[in-house]
Structure 1
Amino acid sequence: MRHIISILVENKFGVLARIAGMFSGRGFNIETLNVGPMIDNKLSRITATIIGDSEALDQAIKQVNKLINVLEVTEFSDGQATERELVMLKVSATANQRAEVVQVCDIFRAKIIDVSAESVNIEMTGNASKVTAFLNLIEPYGIVEMARTGNLALKRG
């Protein structure tokens, strides 16, 4: 089962390694992992999408909560959070294909952020299913390079 976990931590050396090691050491597959500093740079938020058994995950969350430098752990159930991810692509696009690529981008509210003679760089944000649908439509043009963040999530309300 897929679980999204948000972990608020002190922004200190080794915290991410301890948390990732704890999950992988207990047999969880970390599907996506994002870390970024908060406003004051003293804290960071780790957002992890983890595949594994619910009961074992509850135990793992309790153990993460006990780690030094961990301030708060939240697991989001379905519908409890707003989720987004960012994907950046370099797509082959000759002058003849560029209008079609722009049209696909418009449908998904993606932005073209760089243009060259043979390719365009695109950024797009959305939930995982929207990103996947976009990638399926843009792939026939030829994805040269891709970077994808994985999930970020915040609790609703």
Structure 2
Amino acid sequence: MSARKHTISVLVNDQPGVLQRVSGLFGRRGFNIESITVGSSEEAGLSRMVIVSTGDDRMLDQISKQLYKLIDVIRVVNISAQPMVAREVALIKVAAEPSQRPEVLGVVETFRASVVDIGPHSLIVQVIGAPDKIDAMAELLKPYGIQEFSRTGVTAMIRGAAQ
């Protein structure tokens, strides 16, 4: 079994300490969390965590079983096992003197991103999309000088009919 990325949706009670207990479970098992996003869900009093981790299918099965042992965990779904929509937001501050800006704006347009701030010597670009889109845009902006880079982590849903 080869290691691959897994995107897991975890529906939990909206209670203090739940995030710490869920993330601690991964750490105790020696599994790295590549990204984790947490926010309100469609049900009052419940939050949804979307966790991306790398491992084999056995690891995923073990994590799922352990998550269900936590009292505040309602449902665990391996989103990556089905067709899904995954998105991230990134803000990238790029060194851009006025003479370089047309080139940088060309990259921004290509990725359907947007400039959200213009400073005397830099631009802040917002890009929304799949993680590989953000990685590709960052790679093209590197030669200009990335001064700061911040990304939200993946949020995702299964495509199509409600599950």
Q: Same fold (TM over 0.5)?
A: yes
| Aligned residue in 2 for 1:102 | 105
C-alpha distance after superposition, 1:53-76 (max 9, x if no partner): 211320220120231111111112
Among all aligned residue pairs of Structure 1 and Structure 2, give the percentage whose two residues are the same amino acid: 41
Matches within 5 A, 1:1-157: 1-38=4-41, 42-77=45-80, 80-157=83-160
CA shift in 2, pair 1:103/1:78, >3 Å: farther
What secondary structure, in the 3-state scheme, does the structure 1 residue paired with 2:92 have?
Answer: strand
Q: Give the drift of 1:42.
A: 2.0
| Consecutive aligned runs of 4 or more in structure 1 exceeding 4 Å deviation | none
TM-score (norm 1): 0.94
Return the offset for 1:78. Answer: 5.0
Deviation at 1:18, TM superposition (A): 0.6
**Structure 2: how far apart are the matches of 1:155 and 1:4?**
10
Shift of 1:41: 5.9
Corresponding residue pairs, total? 157
RMSD: 1.4
Structure 1: which 5+ runs fail to align? none
Bigger mean CA offset, 92-101 vs 33-42 = 33-42
Deviation at 1:155, TM superposition (A): 0.8
Contact 2:82/2:158 (CA < 8 Å) preserved in 1? no
| Distance in 2 between residues matched to 1:39 and 1:82, nearest whole Å | 17
CA distance in 2, matches of 1:84, 1:16: 21
CA distance in 2, matches of 1:39, 1:75: 18
Label 1:14 to 1:136 Cα distance change in 2 as closer, same or farther (>3 A).
same
> What TM-score, normalized to structure 2?
0.90
Does the 8 Å contact 2:8/2:80 carry over to 1?
no
